[in-house]
């Protein structure tokens, strides 16, 4: 019976086992790592498996993961953004300072922040396309400029290093409900950003594997010249990716703002690397053309687990960065092996 | 191959214009003239070969035809209408598709995604517009089977295919998307003898499907068996433009090698008292081309 089925199939397909096929997926390395880490912390920290702890881990993962969505897509498209960490704060600051200064409904500020965030992404992409400089340099410059602007404008407008409180303004409660409330799931309070994060991962995954634009993202990252030659709008795709990162920055910025009611203008520095690390651990190739949004999410989850797990295990959190570095190294090595395998001719 | 005779159609009758026609086309980059005075024609079911050594202007020529660069001298006619192709998209819309030396494929992407890159088939409406994956895979498989390539799995990264197979995917893609003129830029340059033969076979298949093929190569042994017309370029200038019955393989080889230059090279080598073996080789080749040319 089996032979009858086998003869129908191409005899050469049979040689690719399920395991080998699964190993070809970009996120598989990070998934194995995530499982290992999960089991590890479940064994060493009793509190780790409690629902409330898991909710906290997920929350920690979501604050990195939301940005990792945009950063992963951008990395698959072959580019970097180093300005993401401070751009999140810029977005939050522009919403709060504008609403406070003009005493408007905070939703006006929220919309303005969206325009600012998309604008930062657009400017990053536009300068990158026009100057043909590496995105590393362009966004590094943007990082420095935004860092300065955040501090200087906040002091100039609000008179302090933190933005003034906006909790008394109209619309604050409804905005807090959308961006920073908690949802009760079977008796456990789960922060709403966790759901926003998961929704964003789902949408990004759908865009990436099931739409034209997704095809273009892979193509511009894999080989921009080849993509251009077959008629893919390379410049528009890349600018769009930078703006997508901007959008993610807006979502996280709004959460940061409404989780409290003020923003520290000096925050965010260094976070851009966490987002990139999440994407890389999740299997996105630094050189572009390969990766997945789910991988970025798993990378962020690993980050959340390591971050909170160390606390639950009652270790010194000093160890955290060491583990993060080690995981990054291992993940990149796995990625290189995968890429060589995919590109090798028979 | 030599049994295939040419029905001459120098000037198609009536309003029947050439598929593609270049008249005195030239291109400058700054004050450097990269190409000048190129006149050639491409017709349905004919293979026009462009031959030349490195730096002869072949790349510039195809970039003009494929819309990557714009000519600044002469006229380019597509089906009788004077055109200037502003972008690769422009050229594609006019039915001109180029298969580049580097193939314009993204090696990490699956074969079917490469096949439809830039011209994806979608289904659904508005925000739910999505790729019709099944249909695209099916078409990819069928088109490749029509070219005589039986692929294991169109989901594998195209980088895993051999050079010849990749070349054929690129050709099949151009044919599927309604190319009337197919430009092949050095398709055999990086291939072994057997793979080159396979690609030459696909060139003839594309021709027999009624396409006008522009075959760019520096190898007359590849060009002559499949070509109907031959344009020889040297340093950006045309060296000659022949129908197949006006020229022999040896003549083309001789012109490309440049008889006079070979002689000079032989002289130089001997005066340097240099490597005897190489010197003999050059002399032997020189004698061969001379002899053959005298015979014809």
- What domains are there in chain A, each with its CATH number? 30-334 (1.10.3470)
Give the closest of B131, B152, B161 to A211, CB-based: B131
Q: Mean pLDDT throughout A109-132? A: 95
**Given this model, what pLDDT does residue B58 score?**
85
Residue B133: per-residue pLDDT: 86
Mean pLDDT along residues A284-305:
89
SS3 A264: strand
A212 closest CB neighbour out of B88, B131, B159: B131
Q: What is the mean pLDDT of residues A106-123?
A: 95
Query: pTM of the prediction?
Result: 0.78
CB contact under 8 A, A226 and B103: yes
Sign for the CA dihedral angle at A160, A162, A165, A170 comes to positive
Under 8 Å between Cβ of A69 and A292: no
What's residue B261's pLDDT?
A: 66
Neighbours of A305 (CB within 10 A): 24
**Mind telling me how many Å the CA of A221 is from chain B's nearest CA?**
9
What is the Cα Rg of chain A in Å? 22
Q: Using 50, 70 and 90 to split pLDDT, how confident is the model at A14?
A: very low
Q: Which CATH number fits domain B20-118+151-257: 1.25.40.10, 3.40.50.300, 3.30.1130.10, 3.30.420.40?
A: 3.40.50.300
Give the tokens for residue A147.
């860092």
Considering only CA atoms, which of A217, A203, A207, A212 is closest in space to residue A76? A217
Separation in Å, CA of B256 to nearest CA in chain A:
30
Q: Which region among A2-16, A159-173, B141-155, B236-250 has the lowest average model confidence (pLDDT)?
A: A2-16
Taking each helix axis from N to C end, the angle separating A172-180 and A106-131, rounded to the nearest 10 degrees, works out to: 50
User: Which of B92, B107, B162 is the closest to A343 by Cβ?
Assistant: B107
Arithmetic mean of pLDDT, A27-39: 82
CB of B58 closer than 8 Å to CB of B50: yes
Put simply, the chain B residues between 140 and 199 with a CB less than 8 A from any chain A CB are: 152-153, 157, 159-163
Question: What's the angle, vertex CA B43, arms to CA B42 and CA B47, rounded to 5?
Answer: 70
Q: pLDDT (tens digit, 0 to 9) for every residue of chain B, 296 residues total?
A: 333 333 444 444 444 678 888 888 888 888 888 888 888 888 888 899 998 887 788 888 888 888 888 888 888 888 888 888 888 778 888 888 888 766 667 888 888 888 888 888 888 887 778 888 888 988 888 888 877 777 778 888 888 887 778 878 888 888 888 788 888 888 887 777 877 888 888 888 888 888 889 998 888 888 888 889 888 888 888 888 888 888 888 888 878 776 556 667 767 777 776 566 666 676 677 666 665 555 54
Q: What pLDDT score was predicted for residue B11?
A: 43
pLDDT value of residue A1: 38
User: How far from A242 is each of A49, A71, A173, A346, CA to CA, in Å?
Assistant: 37, 9, 31, 36
Question: What pLDDT sits at residue B293?
Answer: 53
More confident residue, A115 or B295: A115
Q: What pLDDT shows up at residue B278?
A: 65
Q: Is the pLDDT of residue A192 over 80?
A: yes
pLDDT of residue A9 exceeding 60, the answer is no
Predicted local confidence at residue A129, as pLDDT:
93
Interface test with B, best of A230, A231, A234, A286 (most B CBs within 10 A): A230
DSSP-assigned letters across all residues of A274-321 = HHHHHHHHTT--TTSS---HHHHHHHHHHHHHHHHHHHHTT--TTHHH
Determine the 3-state secondary structure of A63 from DSSP.
Answer: helix
| Residue A125 pLDDT greater than 80, yes or no | yes
Nearest CA among B47, B77, B79, B80 for reference residue B65:
B77
Residue contact A222–B102, C-beta within 8 A:
no
Contact yes or no for B172/B146 (Cβ under 8 A): yes
Interval A87-106: pLDDT, tens:
999 999 999 999 999 988 99
**Nearest CA distance, B190 vs chain A (angstrom):** 14
Domain limits, chain B: 20-118+151-257, 258-296
Contact A345 B160 (CB under 8 A): yes
Reported as type and span, the H/E element at residue A184 is: strand A182-185
Q: Which residues of B touch A231 (CB under 8 A)?
A: 88-89, 92, 118-119
Tell whether B136 lies on the interface with A, counting CB pairs under 8 A. Answer: no
Predicted confidence band at A4 (pLDDT cuts at 50, 70, 90)? very low
- Chain B nearest-CA distance from A229, in A, is 6
pLDDT reported for residue A138: 94
CA-nearest of B238, B187, B241, B182 to B210 is B182
For residue A346, the model assigns a pLDDT of: 38
Count of A–B CB contacts within 8 Å?
97
Q: What is the pLDDT of residue B14?
A: 41
Tokens 């080849």 locate to A226
């Amino acid at each position: 019976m089996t032979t009858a089925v086998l003869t129908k199939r191409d005899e050469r397909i049979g040689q690719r086992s399920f395991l080998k096929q699964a190993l070809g997926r970009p996120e598989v390395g990070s998934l194995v790592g995530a499982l290992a880490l999960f089991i590890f912390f479940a064994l060493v920290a009793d509190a780790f498996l409690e629902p409330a702890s898991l909710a906290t881990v997920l929350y920690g993962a979501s604050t990195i993961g939301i940005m990792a969505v945009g950063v992963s897509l951008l990395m698959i498209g072959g580019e970097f953004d180093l300005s993401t960490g401070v751009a999140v704060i810029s977005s939050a600051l522009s919403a709060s300072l504008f609403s406070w200064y003009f005493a408007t409904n905070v939703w006006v500020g929220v919309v303005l922040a969206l325009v600012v965030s998309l604008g930062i992404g657009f400017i990053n992409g536009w300068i990158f396309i026009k100057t043909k400089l590496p995105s590393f340099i362009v966004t590094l410059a943007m990082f420095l400029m935004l860092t300065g602007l955040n501090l200087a404008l906040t002091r100039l407008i609000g008179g302090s290093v933190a933005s003034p409180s906006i909790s008394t303004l109209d619309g604050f409660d409804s905005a807090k409900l959308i961006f920073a409330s908690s949802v009760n799931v079977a008796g456990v309070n789960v922060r709403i950003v966790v759901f926003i994060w998961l929704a964003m991962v789902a949408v990004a995954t759908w865009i990436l594997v099931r739409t034209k634009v997704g095809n273009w993202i892979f193509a511009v990252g894999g080989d921009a010249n080849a993509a251009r030659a077959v008629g893919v709008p390379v410049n528009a795709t890349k600018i769009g990716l930078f703006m997508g990162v901007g959008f993610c920055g807006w979502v996280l910025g709004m959460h940061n703002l409404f989780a409290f009611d003020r923003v520290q203008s000096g925050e965010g520095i260094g976070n851009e690397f966490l987002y990139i690390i999440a994407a890389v651990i999740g299997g996105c190739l630094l050189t572009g053309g390969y990766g997945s949004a789910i991988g970025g999410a798993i990378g962020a989850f690993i980050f959340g687990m390591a971050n909170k797990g160390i606390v639950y295990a009652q270790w010194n959190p000093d160890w955290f960065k060491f583990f993060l570095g080690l995981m990054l190294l291992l993940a990149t090595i796995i990625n290189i092996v995968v890429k060589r395998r995919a590109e090798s001719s028979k | 191959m030599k049994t295939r005779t040419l029905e001459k159609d120098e000037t198609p009758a009536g309003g029947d214009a050439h598929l593609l026609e270049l008249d005195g086309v030239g291109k400058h980059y700054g004050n450097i003239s990269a190409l000048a005075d190129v006149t050639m024609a491409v017709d349905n079911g004919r293979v026009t070969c462009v031959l030349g050594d490195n730096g002869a202007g072949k790349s510039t020529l195809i970039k003009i035809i494929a819309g990557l660069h714009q000519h600044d001298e002469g006229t380019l006619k597509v089906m009788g209408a004077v055109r200037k192709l502003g972008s690769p998209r422009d050229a594609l819309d006019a039915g001109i598709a180029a298969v580049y030396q580097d193939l314009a494929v993204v090696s990490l992407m699956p074969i079917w995604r490469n096949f439809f890159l830039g011209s994806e088939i979608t289904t659904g409406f508005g925000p739910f517009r999505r790729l019709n994956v099944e249909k695209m895979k099916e078409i990819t498989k069928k088109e490749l089977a029509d070219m005589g390539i039986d692929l294991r799995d169109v989901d594998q990264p195209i980088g895993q295919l051999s050079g010849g197979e990749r070349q054929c995917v690129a050709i099949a893609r151009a044919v599927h998307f309604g190319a009337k003129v197919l430009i092949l830029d050095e398709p055999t340059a990086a291939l072994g003898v057997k793979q080159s033969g396979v690609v030459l076979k696909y060139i003839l298949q594309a021709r027999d499907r009624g396409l006008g093929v522009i075959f760019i190569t520096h190898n007359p042994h590849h060009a002559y068996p499949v070509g109907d017309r031959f344009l020889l370029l040297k340093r950006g200038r045309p060296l000659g433009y022949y129908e197949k019955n006006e020229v022999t393989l040896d003549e083309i080889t001789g012109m490309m090698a440049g008889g006079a230059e070979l002689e000079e090279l032989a002289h130089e080598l001997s005066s340097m008292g240099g490597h005897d073996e190489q010197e003999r080789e050059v002399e032997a080749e020189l004698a061969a081309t001379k002899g053959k040319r005298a015979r014809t």
